[in-house]
Amino acid sequence: MNLNRKEFLRTLALAGATAATGSWNGLNVLAQTSETKTGDVELVAVLGGEPDVMIQKALEKFGGIGKFIKSGQTVVIKPNIGWARTPEYAANTHPLLIKELVKQSLAAGAKKVTVFDRTCNKMEDCYKLSGIEAAVKEAGGEIVPSDKEEYYAEVELPKGVKLKKTKIHKALLDADIWFNVPILKSHGGAGLTIALKNYLGIVWDRQLFHRIDLQQTIADVATWEKRPVLNIVDSYRLLKAHGPTSGDISDAVLVKSLFVSPDIVAVDTAALSLFNQIAEQKGFNKQELSRVSHIQHAQDLELGTTNLKSLKVESIRS
């Protein structure tokens, strides 16, 4: 499915109707772009074009990637690379998006750009088949291993409700800033994988989250003091079912869109609503807020807002 601009804006305008609670204020604000100024926007939705072009356009609205990166800083880009799948299956973040982010980070003066994910399938296979390893290297970045506990160190999470500590990858601990870059897809346990759920790729013991309370601990780990400077949700293709690994290529729906915000709750709210409106249009299963309750938990922890009308938002066509 490839949405034209009219259909995309209609999707955003109507998406709020899919919400399960009155605390949601819908996404009609995404079609109201006249009051935003370059560098003043808080959430950007992009339609059309390839992933590298969409992120270029989104970053322009924020005033360029240099707004977030200072010369000489160490940068981590954290995609979803969890599965040994090629891009057309929509199980991992699109490699063109990651390649462009690495290139722009280095052009902005980053001393070093590192990429990793705590993969579910064999790390080497995930890095290779996703296309991300090659993309990172071509752009001048470094993709680092994640498959040994020695790569992680314990951090405290004093604001967590049920998760008070966890081990996080040292590359991220050592970084000056990081970008959180998930793909929008279904997930059997969490309902959806978006920006909050992508945190499970920075920790060593993911199973601990499942054993305690998956929805609450997803929100808890996001209370870690080093927040991403931007959350960039790849919805070039979304995975409508059989996530997070993807059962069949027919589960991947071509949408050609992107959501970007420093507000992790807002960007997940926008992506969830888009997922649900497209599900309604195309006849696959929606994911209500109650099924993706880590978003509400994160708002309760003051990590962001589901009230998109309170933000300066812009939708653009690349």
Instruction: Name the pLDDT band for 290 (thresholds 50, 70, 90).
Output: confident
Cα–Cα nearest to 112, from 69, 155, 149: 69
Cα–Cα separations (whole angstroms), residue 1 to 48, 121, 188, 201, 279: 12, 28, 23, 29, 11
The more confidently predicted of residues 6 and 24 is 6
Are 235 and 184 spatial neighbours (Cβ–Cβ below 8 Å)? yes
Domain 5-317 annotated CATH 3.40.50.11440:
yes
Q: Is the pLDDT of residue 24 over 50?
A: no
Query: What is the model's pLDDT at position 14?
Result: 43
Is residue 146 pLDDT above 90, yes or no? yes
pLDDT category at 94 given cuts 50, 70, 90 is very high
User: Rounded to two decimals, what is the model's pTM?
Assistant: 0.91
- Condensed to tens digits (0 to 9), the pLDDT of residues 169-217 reads 999 999 999 999 999 999 989 999 999 999 999 999 999 999 999 999 9
Q: What is the pLDDT of residue 246?
A: 79
**Average pLDDT, rounded, for the chain:** 90
138 CB contacts (<8 Å, ≥6 apart)? 99
Q: How far apart are the first and last CA of the chain?
A: 17
Is residue 10's pLDDT more than 80?
no
pLDDT in the model for residue 26: 34
Q: How far is CA 288 from the centre of its chain?
A: 18
Residue 206 CA neighbour count, 13 Å, CB half: 15
pLDDT above 90 coverage of the chain, percent: 82
Residue-range domain boundaries for the chain: 5-317
Work out the average pLDDT over 162-169.
98
Check residue 38 and give its pLDDT. 72
Are 184 and 192 in contact, with CB atoms under 8 Å apart? yes
Q: Which amino acid is at 125?
A: D
| pLDDT value, residue 80 | 98
